[in-house]
Amino acid sequence: MRQRAIFALASLLVALGIGAAEVAARPLSATTGNDRFPVNELLEGSESSADQCASLPFAVWVIVDGKGDCIRYYAGGLKAGNPDMLIFFHGDRMALNGGSQRAIGSYERQSPAGLERDAVLWSAQARGLPFLFVGRPGTHGSSGNHAERRRPREVKLMTAALDAIKVRHGVQRYHLSGQSGGGHITGAMLNMRQDIECAAIASGAVAVWKRVELLGGRSRDTTGYADPYDPAKEVSRIRRAPPPRIFVLSDPQDRTVPFGSQEYYVSRLVEARLAPVHVLAIAPDTGRHALAHLARPAIRWCAQGVPTDEIRRRLEEQGRRATTATETAD
């Protein structure tokens, strides 16, 4: 019921011309070290320049639809050459609250140094394979407008950023993981790229219009926009020779992305003659939504060549295991 009320509020605000309102974007802050990412830039958007982007550590300048944005990433385990690259795309970082947007999750406490420590830890867990945390547009030091998440330009920016990272770091194969809205990015990249070997989608918003239907909406995404990119509609574009290994991780009691929408995405993959592994798990948060702690090991095992059935077994075992909220960073 709460999700339906939020959806209805978002649609009403847009109809009145005050939802997803465009405001003058702030200049992007050059946030480094232990400085926390500015929440006002998350909520209002930010703009950068090619020169500023070039001055930032681990950032790529990409141009989409005639406009440039600076996409930052945080790395662990990078070497002179990185044929296999593991990537994590985080979940959405804002939500409606009483008619206005607010930061959610742990965003107000996060910093570049903290994300770098996470990436270094994930790389170590993957026996030294390089691991990147990529900031989606408008978040974690990347310029752009996070209010426009799931729209086509966010998807284009992310694949352009992977192109640039591929050239810079000598990547041959990507292994992608994503939580919630980051799962949406992962699903979109599967449709658009030929260099993905493994993908793990945790509580993913990968069937956007089915989610809208299940939340009681009509013609708009929960962001208020009517033109989201829907990964479920283009699964026929996923590489076939050979196909990537795809793991979909779901909690049937998910209160943010209804399980039925995730189940629908899996059915679309099966219809496309792919072989997704759908693992049901218990998310440890109150919303039964946070499963990132399963997505990241899934791609590291996949990159290490662990057989699919063994990965399934491990994920099912871990999905039943009690864990704490601090272990499920989204």
Report how far residue 127's alpha carbon sits from residue 218's, in angstroms, rounded to the nearest whole number.
46
Residues 186-217: pLDDT tens digits? 999 999 999 999 999 999 999 999 999 999 98
Nearest to 141 by CA among 89, 197, 70, 191: 70
pLDDT at residue 186, as a whole number:
98
Say if residue 20's pLDDT is above 90: no
Q: What are all long-range contacts of 5-9, with beta carbons under 8 Å and residues at least 24 apart? A: 6/95, 6/96, 6/222, 7/212, 7/215, 7/216, 7/217, 7/222, 8/216, 8/217, 9/96, 9/99
Contact criterion met (CB below 8 Å) for 118 and 140: no
Give the global pTM. Answer: 0.91
Q: What is the pLDDT of residues 276-304, one digit of tens each?
A: 999 999 999 999 999 999 999 999 999 99
Task: Give pLDDT tens digits for 78-109.
Answer: 999 999 999 999 999 998 766 678 998 899 99
- Which of 54-68, 182-196, 216-230 is predicted least confidently? 216-230
Helix (H) or strand (E) holding 116: helix 112-125
pLDDT for res 100:
78
Cα separation, 123 vs 114, whole angstroms = 14
CATH class of 2-327: alpha beta
The answer, yes or no, to whether residue 328 has pLDDT greater than 70, is: no
* Mean pLDDT calculated for residue range 21-38: 84
The per-residue pLDDT for 2 is 46
Query: Would you say 177 and 254 are in contact if contact means Cβ atoms under 8 Å apart?
Result: no
Average pLDDT of the chain is: 91
Look at residue 231 and tell me whether its pLDDT is greater than 90.
yes
Mean pLDDT computed over 38-56: 96
**pLDDT at 10 > cutoff 70:** no
d(CA 310, CA 305): 10
pLDDT digits (tens, 9 = 90+) for 150-171: 999 999 999 999 999 999 999 9
Would you say residue 252 has pLDDT above 60? yes
Whole-angstrom Cα distance, residue 306 to residue 224? Answer: 41
- In the chain, what are the domain boundaries? 2-327
Q: What are phi and psi of 291, to 5 degrees?
A: -125, 20
**Kind and range of the H or E run holding 55:** helix 50-55
Give the mean model confidence (pLDDT) for residues 117-121.
98
> What pLDDT, on the 0 to 100 scale, is given for residue 105?
84
> What percent of the chain is modeled with pLDDT above 70?
89
User: What is the predicted pLDDT for the residue at 97?
Assistant: 67
pLDDT for 8 beyond 80: no
Q: What is the pLDDT at residue 201? A: 98
Sequence letter at residue 27: P
